[in-house]
Chains A and B, each alone.
Chain A
Amino acid sequence: AQKITQTQPGMFVQEKEAVTLDCTYDTSDPSYGLFWYKQPSSGEMIFLIYQGSYDQQNATEGRYSLNFQKARKSANLVISASQLGDSAMYFCAMRDEFAGTASKLTFGTGTRLQVTL
């Protein structure tokens, strides 16, 4: 069965610094996809970045990059040059081929990031 673990309930980072949010996952399927979402205080969920299990390179989207270590089953999100607007909850999520479906999307418990001046 799928499982996503985010061990950092809260993180602080100074503006303009980089920060890494941890995510580990557990699946027995060789084919899976990993996602990161941002949830501001308004409650909406914003998709940030995707990494496929067969992707050779780490995914990058602007200031977001994914440090994907397949053997360790980790998919950490790196935010470079933090901005005050980055303050939010961040969720890691996964799909795999469990039970013959690639549809089920499972989330971790999230990390609350606070960017300070």
Chain B
Amino acid sequence: DGGITQSPKYLFRKEGQNVTLSCEQNLNHDAMYWYRQDPGQGLRLIYYSQIVNDFQKGDIAEGYSVSREKKESFPLTVTSAQKNPTAFYLCASSFLGMNTEAFFGQGTRLTVV
């Protein structure tokens, strides 16, 4: 089945540790995105990528890093520089173009203790 897979679903880390969230898609989409969602709030864009080996900062990129070495994969690293990393992280992908909807993964809930 085609779709987007995020793993793990729940992640616990100690403060000061870097952590990498996985996102894989088999929809042949060119664009991929990472969003952060805090309780009761909207989605804020962290990073997005339109093509392999290229990506752009979103609205809240500080303390995060990404890579896009393969079309199918767009991992997100939450670094120790991110001051408040506990949140729900959503990965999405889409074809390029104005009228293409984004498809989302199931999300990763990261808790830093």
Contact = CB atoms under 8 A, between A and B. Distances in A.
Nearest to A95: B98
B94 interface: yes
Contacts of B106: 43-44
A106 interface: yes
A80 to B, nearest CB: 21
Range for the number of chain B residues in contact with chain A: 20 to 34
Contact of B104 (A45, A97, A108): A45
Interface in B13-69: 31, 33, 35, 40-45, 48, 50, 56, 58-59
A35 B101 contact: yes
A102 interface: yes
Nearest to A6: B42
B2 interface: no
Nearest to A29: B98
Nearest to A110: B42
Task: With a 10 A CB-CB cut-off, give which of A33, A52, A107 has the most chain B CB atoms.
Answer: A107
A20 interface: no
A104 B96 contact: no
B90 A45 contact: yes
Contacts of A106: 45, 59
Interface residues of A, number: 26
Contacts of B102: 35, 45, 47, 105
Most buried by A among B59, B90, B96, B99: B99
A71 to B, nearest CB: 20
Contacts of B42: 6, 91, 107-110
Interface of A: 6, 31-33, 35, 43-45, 47, 50, 52, 91, 95-97, 101-110, 112
Interface of B: 31, 33, 35, 40-45, 48, 50, 56, 58-59, 88, 90, 92, 94, 96-99, 101-104, 106-107, 109
17 contacts: A44-B104, A44-B107, A45-B104, A50-B99, A101-B56, A103-B48, A103-B50, A104-B56, A105-B45, A105-B48, A106-B59, A107-B35, A107-B42, A107-B45, A109-B41, A110-B41, A110-B42
